[in-house]
Structure formats: structure tokens, C-alpha cells
């Protein structure tokens, strides 16, 4: 059809790319998208959770191989390449899974409008985490990326928000989730009431 209409391959490529980019963006917030001429695309959360679980196991294995000093250089480079692609897949899947929605919201909320009682603690925790992230090999500044924000290549999160999510932890265990002072007080009260 394109040859009869004298439409260049470049233009066709741009149209198709634009359609699939639109689908990709739409699937970030929707679980199904219909693309004219291609059909309906569905995001199956149940399958995605199983897939993410398998990928996390593979990722741990790769990280162990990288940490092993006896891994040959050629194999190490291959594993790093595979790990990079695996992280991109996880980065695409994780935001769609419900467990992450609360954490993403918490980080964004604490970044924009932190609760007055927690402002100091959030700022302190965020500063400590950002110092760690700034030295990390997974920081976006150490990679070629199209995103303009400072983000983690491993989990895909924007660092300004992720570092302020007190219930979040680093996906490669560089820092852990923390309890807020209020949560800690509630925990101590709960433990004390159980002891009585």
C-alpha cells in the first residue's frame, strides 16, 4: 500500500513508532490498550508478579556471579550486559504492580508536601540515601539514558522521590526502609501492651 501511495519507509517507521510509543505510555496507567490494526494488548498482573519473582531470582544469581572474584572477565562483561537488560525489564514491570503504588505515592508526597511532623526526619534520611546513591554504579549519571532526571538504573525510580519514601528500600540493598518516629512510638506502645 505504501509503495502505491509513494510513502517513504521513514514516514511509515515514524507512524508505527509513534503508535507503539503511545501504547507504551498508555500501558503505564491502564491494563489494556487497543491499537488499530494490531489488536488489543492486556497487562496480566498475576503473570507479571510470577515473572518478576523469577527475574528477581535470576538477578540475585547474576549479582552473586559479579561479586565472585573468580568470575572470568569475559563472562563478567556478559553477565553485566544480561543484568542491565534484566533491570530494564524489571523497571518496566515494577511500576505496574500494586505493591509499588503505595511506595511511589509516599515518595512523591514526601517530596512535594512532607508531613510537618516528619519534615526533618525525611530530609535527614533523604540526604543520607542520596549520598549513597550518588556514589552508586546504578545512578543514571553513570549510564547513557534518555530520562533527564536523576534516577536508579536498577529500579527505575526517580531518586528525589525514592530517597524520601521512608518505607522504601534500595533494590540492591544499599539502604533499608526506616520506621518514622511516630511508627516507632506506636510500635513500642504495641509491644508494651502485649507484655502486660
Q: Provide mean pLDDT across the span 63-85.
A: 89
Residue partners of 93: CB distance under 8 A and separation at least 6: 48, 51, 52, 55
65 and 76 part of one domain: yes
> Domain check: are 77 and 161 in the same one?
no
Domain limits at 57? 45-96
* pLDDT tens digit sequence for 25-56: 776 666 777 766 667 777 777 888 888 888 88
Question: Does 166 lie in the same domain as 193?
Answer: yes
CA R_g for the chain:
22
In a domain, 4, yes or no: no
Structural domains in the chain (count): 3
| Residue 135 clears pLDDT 90, i.e. is over it | yes
126 and 32 belong to one structural domain: no
The grid cell for 4 is: 502505491
Residue 2 domain flag: no
pLDDT at 53: 83
Q: What is the mean pLDDT of residues 134-158?
A: 85
Q: What pLDDT, on the 0 to 100 scale, is given for residue 117?
A: 83
As a whole number of angstroms, the distance between CA 140 and CA 156 comes to 9
Sign of CA dihedral 115, 119, 125, 128: positive
What's the CA gap between 66 and 75, in Å, rounded?
9
The answer to whether residues 119 and 161 belong to one domain is: yes
Express each pLDDT in 8-18 by its tens digit. Answer: 778 877 877 77
Residues 76 and 138 grouped into a single domain: no
Residue 99 has pLDDT above 70, yes or no: no
Amino acid at each position: 500500500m505504501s509503495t502505491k501511495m509513494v510513502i517513504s519507509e521513514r514516514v511509515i517507521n515514524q507512524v508505527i513508532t509513534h503508535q507503539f510509543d503511545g501504547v507504551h505510555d498508555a500501558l503505564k496507567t491502564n491494563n489494556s490498550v487497543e491499537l488499530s490494526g494490531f489488536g488489543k494488548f492486556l497487562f496480566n498482573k498475576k503473570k507479571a508478579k510470577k515473572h518478576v519473582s523469577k527475574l528477581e531470582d535470576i538477578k540475585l544469581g547474576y549479582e552473586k556471579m559479579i561479586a565472585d572474584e573468580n568470575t572470568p572477565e569475559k563472562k563478567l562483561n556478559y553477565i553485566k550486559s544480561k543484568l542491565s537488560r534484566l533491570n530494564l525489564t524489571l523497571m518496566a514491570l515494577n511500576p505496574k504492580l500494586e505493591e509499588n503504588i503505595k511506595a511511589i505515592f509516599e515518595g512523591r508526597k514526601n517530596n512535594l508536601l512532607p508531613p510537618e511532623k516528619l519534615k526533618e526526619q525525611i530530609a535527614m534520611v533523604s540526604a543520607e540515601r542520596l549520598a549513597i546513591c550518588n556514589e552508586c554504579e546504578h545512578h543514571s549519571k553513570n549510564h547513557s539514558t534518555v530520562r533527564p532526571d536523576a534516577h536508579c538504573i536498577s529500579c527505575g525510580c526517580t531518586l528525589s522521590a525514592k530517597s524520601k519514601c521512608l518505607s522504601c528500600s534500595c533494590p540492591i540493598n544499599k539502604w533499608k526502609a526506616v520506621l518514622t518516629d511516630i511508627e516507632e512510638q506506636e510500635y513500642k506502645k504495641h509491644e508494651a501492651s502485649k507484655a502486660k
